[in-house]
A and B are shown apart, each in its own frame.
Chain A
Amino acid sequence: MEVFVVSLLNGLVYGMLLFMLASGLTLIFSMMGVLNFAHASAYMIGAYFAYTLSLYVGFWVALIVAPILCGLLGAAIEMWGLRRVHKNGHIAELLFTFGLALIIEKVVQMTWGLIAVPYRIPSGLDFPLFDLWGTQFPAYRAFMLLISALMFLSIWLGLTRTRIGLVIQAALTHPDMAGALGHNVPRVFTMVFAAGTALAGLAGVIGGNYRVTEPGMAFSMGPIVFVVVVFGGLGSLTGCFIASILMGLIQTFAVVLDYSLADLLEVFGFVVTKATPGSEFLMVTLPRIAALLPFILLVLILVLRPRGLLGTRDT
């Protein structure tokens, strides 16, 4: 019970952090068809901006300003980089964002150095909120949950209840028609890219001090975010949300469940011993591969349901 409840909370917090990152990417991916490799780099930049800003103006100002800076950066990248590359098709875009991710990593290394920077949780939130059987639940995690829930709500309301949201949705499915009706589709693209980058920046501000702010953080977070986006389905914010939480919970619970395929077979009366062919593979316990489960799920969903959980079109 104790382990179950704490794991549930752990999974939820991690899932929501994933969602903060993935929501921006799914917007960009579904809208522009751009597989933005530099998305996790925006997450990293958000964390570094927040660190530097918090040295001068404090965490709370950084919480607002750093995502805005990231958004401006995103807008600049879209207007002066991506838009030109866009003409040459998806491969060119892919390579462009990939190169961008590498450049950003180098620039971060040169600016802030190679080792982790001491970006800390603000002292106002650095206390345990409550105690569960001796395991503390830090207030900062509750804050993360709150921010990401607010984020989900505002994106969802923005997309479905506002005029600009309708235009975005229209441009998402019928860009030519939306353009013919007089909407400035390129500007919508810039806005979406900037908003997506800003969301990643916000995730960086929140996640950078919860985790560790170092130059490798973008590349370590990148793959799992792609898994979430593809798994959730293109163009579906709800799918992305469900996929994030699911990935968070799967990874969390896989760690605490000490079972292997051999244990499963034993239920059916088949005992695996060292002599059984393939016993090494069968005896690998779940925790040992917990971090790889999302990638296994990615392969499965691409084979079985290419459009993802709630996707509206094929990948």
Chain B
Amino acid sequence: MRFGKTILSAMVAGIAALALFMAPAIAQPTIKIAYTGQLSGPAAQVGDAEIKQMQYIIDLMNAKGGALGRKLELVPFDNKSQPADALIALKNATDQNISFIVNCGASNVSAALIDGVNKHNERNPGNRIIYLNCGGVATELTNDLCSFWHFRFDLNVTQKVEAMVKALPKTVTKVYLLNQDYLFGQSVQRDVKIFLAKNRPDVQVVGDELIPLLKVQDFSPYITKIKASGAQALLTGNWGPDMNLLIKAGLSMGIDISYYTFYAHLAGGASAIGPDGDGKVFAVMAFGENVPSDIGNTEAEAWTSGFRANNNFDFIGATVFRSTIEHLVAAINKAGSLDAFKVASAMEDHRMKDFLGFDNWMRADDHQLQSAYYVGAFQRGVKYDSEKTGLGWKTATIIKSDEVVQPTSCKMRRPRN
């Protein structure tokens, strides 16, 4: 019995000593970054893919030393891609005293988060949070809805449209517009015409069509109409089946046009389009896996192909997600604190080079990142193919960050501290 007690007290002493020894490690907790996205429901893979890409980036940042000597940690919260659930995720994040929340849209979710973050920060000055937006792209979010606490790292729709117009080859003088009949499709339709008039007055719009959202089963009649119009390029904001079926119908009928899209490079696009799309389909994209090799950046290529080796989907978030985290880390280091106000102030007007070597900067006026963008051509013979189709996105046009700078209507309200 006495013997047992001795052992026990020795053990207690040992554990206490161990705890003392470990104390410095415990005193350096991680910097938590909340992530909210669709982690359940029909598009759960979207959120899952986002987390895998972000984790890959955070691992790299941690290997480089993290921020303020502390490691970064991603804390995921499901939002089912619903605005109401996103607000619950925001509440969970603030309950854990997390100062940063990352979300990549959709735009209605982003709008809810901006509103939620504004209200929360006003009511809880001691526990404020910054919203890092990596994909809610409605232009309004950095115009009329702009907020000091919101930073967007993907280009907005209007900028993407300008990028698309700038990527049109000089030989194209007749274009056909076909968009879905709802807010996004209509804004693409409107913006394309504005930027064509501004940048390419020689281009004539020979057709302008709105289709009911996700209702059209057969696109052949539209193709017949496009053919009859004599268009050389089809510009469309369509996504999902409305894009896939449209392109497939056009390819199968063999009409001689190029397809300019915003979404063909996303998951499922390459599989749906298939080999017939060789050289005909273009996508305005933040990143394509062939960009590093096309610009001859071997370091960036090694890093992105490292992701490709362990995942069966394209690393489409490489630039946007990495810029998000890099700007955040730089701002934290510059502010020397995790205080949301100090970090947000440090992020304003912050300039850096992205991992491909292109300049980007977080414009203070509206918190819209001005970054390089790409237009990819879907074709054979690329170094990295997409979804094992043998075809991939070749970098056709590089749009530098100063090429799509646009005015903003944002009247930024900055808190005093």
Chain A residues close to B by CB (< 8 Å): 2-3, 6-7, 10-11, 13-14, 17, 109, 113-118, 120-121, 128, 134-138, 140-141, 210-212, 214-217, 220-221, 224, 248, 251-256, 287-292
Contacts and interface: CB of A to CB of B under 8 A. Distances in A.
B239 to A, nearest CB: 12
Contact of B209 (A137, A254, A287): A287
B215 A118 contact: no
Contacts, number: 121
The 7 nearest A-B residue pairs measured at CB: A115-B268, A136-B254, A255-B221, A10-B220, A291-B215, A14-B218, A116-B272
Contacts of B255: 134-136
20 contacts: A10-B218, A11-B221, A17-B218, A109-B42, A115-B45, A115-B387, A116-B268, A116-B271, A116-B272, A136-B253, A138-B252, A211-B245, A212-B241, A212-B272, A214-B272, A220-B241, A224-B217, A254-B221, A287-B209, A291-B217
Given A109-B42, A216-B241, A115 B271 contact: yes
B183 to A, nearest CB: 15
Q: Which residue, of B211, B272, B387, has the highest number of chain A Cβ atoms within 10 A?
A: B272
A226 to B, nearest CB: 13
A140 B267 CA distance: 27
Interface string B243-261: 0110010001111100000
Interface in B11-29: none
A6 B224 contact: yes
Contacts of A211: 217, 245, 248
Interface string B205-230: 00001111011111011111101100
B221 A10 contact: yes
Q: Is the interface of A mostly helix, strand, loop or mixed?
A: helix
Contacts of A288: 181, 209-212
A253 B224 CA distance: 10
Interface of B: 42-45, 181, 209-212, 214-218, 220-225, 227-228, 240-241, 244-245, 248, 252-256, 267-268, 271-272, 274, 387, 389
A220 B268 CA distance: 17
Contacts of B241: 212, 214, 216-217, 220
B181 A255 contact: no
Contact of B218 (A3, A115, A252): A252
A121 B222 CA distance: 21
A158 to B, nearest CB: 28
Contacts of A141: 252
A253 B253 contact: no
Contacts of A140: 252
B224 A135 contact: yes
B244 A255 contact: no
B248 A255 contact: no
Contacts of B267: 115
Nearest to B209: A287
A10 B224 contact: yes
B211 A291 contact: yes
Contact of A114 (B45, B217, B389): B45
